[in-house]
Amino acid sequence: QSALTQPASVSGSPGQSITISCTGTSSDVGGYNYVSWYQQHPGKAPKLMIYDVSNRPSGVSNRFSGSKSGNTASLTISGLQAEDEADYYCSSYTSSSTPYVVFGGGTKLTVL
Partner 1 sequence: EVQLVQSGAEVKKPGESLRISCKGSGYSFTSYWISWVRQMPGKGLEWMGRIDPSDSYTNYSPSFQGHVTISADKSISTAYLQWSSLKASDTAMYYCARSSSTGSGWFDPWGQGTLVTVSS
Contact residues for partner 1, defined by CB under 8 A: 2, 34, 36, 38, 45-48, 51-52, 57, 89, 91-93, 98-106
Nearer to partner 1, 15 or 44 (CB): 44
Look at residues 22, 17, 50 and name the one whose alpha carbon lies nearest to residue 107. 22
Nearer to partner 1, 14 or 107 (CB): 107
Please tell me the distance from the alpha carbon of residue 14 to that of residue 21, in angstroms, as a whole number.
20
Minimum distance from CB of 15 to partner 1 (Å)? 29
Which residues have C-beta within 8 Å of that of residue 33, sequence separation ≥ 6? Answer: 52, 53, 68
Nearer to partner 1, 75 or 104 (CB): 104
